[in-house]
Each structure stands twice: as C-alpha cells, then as structure tokens.
Amino acid sequence: MICKSNKPRNADATKEAILEAARIAFSEKGIDGVGVREIAEAAGCNAALVNRYFGGKEQLFAAALVGAFDMSQLLELPKDQFAEAMAAYMVSKRTEHKTFDPMFLALRSIFNPSAMELVRQEIQTHVTDVYASWLDGENRQLRAAMIGSLFAGFYLSRFVMCSESMGFEHDETLAPLLAKTLQIYVEG
C-alpha cells in the first residue's frame, strides 16, 4: 500500500462531520433522496460509520433535526414590530440550494412517514407552542399554526415557482403583503 490515510482518528469529529453533511444533504434532497453512502462520502468517511454512530439513517435524520428550529430571537421583538420583521426575514431568505436551511430540512422530508412524525414533534414543541404562548388573545394555537402555515407555504411556493415572472423577487411589494397577512394572525 502506497497511500495510507494520514489524517488522525477522531470519533467526535467524524460524528460531527457526518451530522453536518447530513443536514446539508437532507436539506437539499430529502431523507429519501439521499443515500448514506453519499452522506458518508461528503463527510469523508465510510458509510458504515453512519450506523455505528447514529444507529441508522432515520436516527441520523432525527439527530440532524434537533435544534434546527430555534426561532427564539424573532420573538424577542415587541409585538407591533413582529409582523414587519418576520416578513423582512422571509423575503430576505433566498433559497440558494447550497446552504443549510432548517426549513427545507423539514420540508423536503415531510412526506416520509418516519420523518414526518419527527418533524411534527419538533415543530410542535419548538415553534407552534412557542408562538402560541407568545401570542395574546384567543385561539392562540390556531393562529400560531397559521403563522407556520404561511411560512411553509411561502417557502414551498417560492421554491417550486422559481420563475422570474412570478414576482417573488419584488421585495418592496412582497414584504408589505406578507406583513399585512402576518398582522392578522398576530392580532387575532
């Protein structure tokens, strides 16, 4: 053998590399669109290590999902600034397809039965409940869910309808439209 692997062995580092590669790959192709060999190659290791460190593909997805939805900083704003700030945030997020995006991590695997349950729990505990308790008035759960619904639908539509003729790039028109919608759900 001429070529030996000269990089030092480090379980924690490779485990983290697998996790990072998984987050990106799952975001781009979904849990059913990417194979463990592909993830392992992106992480620079062997596919068998995925099972050794995470127990399987599904549990790797679960690990990639934890902490993906941390929207706490958005909720530190005063309520009368929230709608506008979130609209600006939604508009600003471009789907470059190359950077990790927690929204797509969830969206692209949402129809895999195992993944859906994981996503559902993660969204329920870290998004909907947080929003609901932050809101005032009645029907907080429903209004929080509608905020998430608007978020998901907007992401999905802009991703699918990427055509320039749709008008999704006219931020100065889009942002107020979104803000007005969000305001409805915030006010109740």
* Contact residues for its own copies, defined by CB under 8 A: 30, 32-33, 107-108, 110-112, 116, 119-120, 123-124, 128, 139, 141-143, 145-146, 148-154, 156-158, 160-163, 165-168, 170, 173-174, 177, 180-181, 184-185
Distance CA 54, CA 96 (A): 29
CB of 65 to its own copies, least distance (A): 14
Rounded distance between C-alpha atoms, residue 82 and residue 75, angstroms: 7
Shortest distance (Å) from residue 33 CB to DNA: 8
The binder of 36, among DNA, its own copies, none, by C-beta within 5 to 8 A per type, is: DNA
51 touching DNA, by CB under 7 A: yes
C-alpha 162/C-alpha 148 separation (Å) is 21
Handedness of CA 71, 73, 74, 78 (dihedral sign): positive
Is 56 an interacting residue with respect to DNA (CB under 7 A)?
Answer: yes
Residue 184 binds: one of its own copies, DNA, none (C-beta under 5 to 8 A by kind): its own copies
Applying CB under 7 A, among 23, 57, 126, 143 the residue interacting with DNA is: 57
Nearer to DNA, 13 or 177 (CB): 13
Q: Which H or E run includes 85?
A: helix 79-92
Q: With respect to its own copies, which residue has the nearer C-beta, 14 or 128?
A: 128
> Within 10 A of 128 (CB to CB), how many other CB atoms are there?
19
- C-alpha distances in angstroms, 75 versus 5, 86, 155? 48, 10, 20
What is the C-alpha end-to-end distance of the chain, expressed in Å?
A: 69
Up-side HSE of residue 136: CA atoms within 13 Å toward CB? 5
Binders of DNA among residues 7 to 26 (CB under 7 A) are 8-11, 13-14
Q: Which is nearer to DNA, 50 or 144 (CB)?
A: 50
Footprint on residues 24-43 left by DNA (CB under 7 A): 34-38
C-alpha distances (whole Å) from 116 to each of 28, 119, 131, 135, 148 are 17, 5, 20, 26, 15
Contact set with DNA (CB under 7 A) = 1, 4-5, 8-11, 13-14, 34-38, 45-52, 56-58
